[in-house]
Amino acid sequence: MVLSIFGKRIVVTGAGQGIGRALALRLSKFGGKVIAVSRTQKHLDTLFQEDPKIEIITADLADWESTRAAIEGAGRIDLLVNNAAAARLDRFLDVKPDDVDVLFNVNLKSVINVSQVAAKSMIATGNGGSIVNISSQASQAALKDHAVYCATKAALDQLTRVMALELGPHNIRVNAVNPTVVMTDMGRVGWNDPEKAASMTSKIPLGRFAEVDEVVDAVVYLLSNRSSMINGVTLPIDGGFLAT
């Protein structure tokens, strides 16, 4: 299958760990020129050691100005994956203002910031492009202790649709993927407890969590020209959880 990834300049945010890291490595393997943007230098350093073809940029996406400068300095962008996110779990009654600020800054505001820069670059080349936002099943299902996280991902789904509407005429497609739990560092925070994990897997028709590679596969497809008529979707990768 020809994927049209080869030679493309691809920004992946949150590429230091977890899904973003696996995605950066896969896209580079397919011949993409990956620009990995993340917060912790040592995670990016080990990524670069693993694949020196990957360009690394250290940035805290919660900081609008420095992130803007860093992404503008990255040069031409053909494809973008907004993957970075923060999760803080608490009962609704205990949510703090700082939780709201941090989660909306990283999970939503930074997506607007990075996507503006990327979309302007895609428009300037005249070649269009593809943007994939990593949302979650939490955008559509209420998950206990996830009030703010759920709200950021619901907002991200709707942002995805408006971006698809406004950027479509520039031949830029914008889609989201909505995974169920994946046992990355973030996944372990919420679901390490076997009882809690079982309460979730029992609601997933396939009876298990998603693997990192299963998310990567869907993102690669949505970035590629194999999905050339798909725009504005929020694609569950959840073994049927949201269908029930």
Nearer to ligand NDP, 27 or 134 (CB): 134
Verify binding: residue 32, ligand NDP, rule CB under 6 A: no
Nearer to ligand NDP, 79 or 134 (CB): 134
By beta-carbon distance, which residue lies closest to ligand NDP?
A: 18
Sequence-distant contacts of 101-104: CB under 8 A, at least 24 apart? 102/62, 103/148, 103/149, 103/152, 104/148, 104/151, 104/152, 104/155
Query: Is 196 a known active-site residue?
Result: no
Q: How many residues bind ligand NDP (CB under 6 A)?
A: 27
Which of 33, 153, 196, 203 is the catalytic position?
A: 153
CB of 197 to ligand NDP, least distance (A): 11
- The window from 71-79, 113-121, 164-172, 184-192 that contacts ligand NDP (CB under 6 A) reads 184-192
Verify binding: residue 38, ligand NDP, rule CB under 6 A: yes
CB of 15 to ligand NDP, least distance (A): 6
Nearer to ligand NDP, 187 or 239 (CB): 187
Verify binding: residue 185, ligand NDP, rule CB under 6 A: yes
DSSP string, the chain: ---S-TT-EEEEETTTSHHHHHHHHHHHHTT-EEEEEES-HHHHHHHHHH-TTSEEEE--TT-HHHHHHHHHTT---SEEEE-------B-GGG--HHHHHHHHIIIIIHHHHHHHHHHHHHHHHTS-EEEEEE--GGGTS--TTBHHHHHHHHHHHHHHHHHHHHHGGGTEEEEEEEE--B-SHHHHHHH-SHHHHHHHHTTSTT-SPBPHHHHHHHHHHHHSGGGTT--S-EEEESTTGGG-
Verify binding: residue 239, ligand NDP, rule CB under 6 A: no
Query: Is 153 a known active-site residue?
Result: yes
Residues between 59 and 98 with contacts to ligand NDP, criterion CB under 6 A: 60-62, 83-86
- The window from 1-9, 13-21, 117-125, 139-147 that contacts ligand NDP (CB under 6 A) reads 13-21
Q: Which residues are part of the catalytic machinery? A: 149, 153
Could you list the residues that contact ligand NDP (CB under 6 A)? 14, 16-20, 38-40, 43, 60-62, 83-86, 106, 134, 136, 179, 181-182, 184-187
